[in-house]
Amino acid sequence: MKILQINGWTGRIKDGLSRFIAEEKYDVVCMQEAIWSDNCNDYLELYVDTVDKIAKTAEFNHIFKTPHYGTKTLDGSVQFEIGNVILSRVPFTDTIEEKILGEYMIIENISDCSSATNHCYMAQKAILDNGLAIVNYHGYWQKNCLGNKISVECMRKVAELIKNDYRPTVMCGDLNVISESPAMRELDFMQDLTATNHIKTTLRNVRFVKDVACDHILITNELKCKEFQVINAAISDHMALVTKIIL
């Protein structure tokens, strides 16, 4: 299976994500900072790459959306949401949402959007028809890429979501910490492909000047990694992580 991990940067590089994902024919895509709308999707697509546009362009029939926060604009008549998404060509047999920290909120003052991701952190778990589990998590953010005690506590909750399952599991995410972080020790029962491939950074120089490998794909011991790539494509402020795994 070919799996993509990408922070979508709210689709602001218009047509970038949808074109890139459609061309590469991924089996599973895990995205953070994805954007969608239930009442103004056509309008939103004029400006950004929405989840629905990406799914339609790349022909994904199975979509699992978990919002971190919502925003209302134009006197509340337009609402869109930002959060985590799993796209799959393989059907889901079950989907699970786990609240890690904070509460979902609707942001009505657009100036508050810059801090909105501090309000809710969610982990997604999708069970595929082939028996594989996919976990998608956008990590607790701190300026220090080593994180803090809250980072550890949050990652422990995500780890329990995986440990309590017998299924082979792939975990993806912009975890907002590097492999040396204490928070990543909660996941030492998995193989961190970012660490084992000695990736120096997963950030593009669009906004960042510091090398930080904060994006990760991890696999349990039942799985074998056939290929791993970090692609510096003009689709986000983060690089794309791609792996091919054998079940």
Site of tokens 């440990």:
163
Q: Which domain holds residue 238?
A: 2-246
How many domains in the chain?
Answer: 1
CA 191 to chain centre: 18
Angstrom distance (rounded) from CA 120 to CA 99: 8
Q: Is 154 helix (H, G, I), strand (E, B) or coil?
A: helix
pLDDT tens, the chain, 247 aa long: 999 999 999 999 999 999 999 999 999 999 999 999 988 888 888 899 999 999 999 999 999 999 999 887 766 666 889 999 999 999 999 999 999 999 988 887 666 655 555 679 999 999 999 999 999 999 999 999 999 999 999 999 999 999 989 999 999 999 999 999 999 999 999 999 999 999 999 999 887 768 999 999 999 999 999 999 999 999 999 999 999 999 8
DSSP letter assigned to residue 91: P
DSSP letter assigned to residue 76: T
- DSSP string over 159-215: HHHHHT--S-EEEEEE-SS-TTSGGGGGGTTSEEHHHHTT----B-TTT--S----E
Its pTM stands at 0.95
CATH of the domain at 51: 3.60.10.10
CA of 115: how far to CAs of 65, 106, 118, 176, 180, in Å? 21, 12, 6, 15, 26
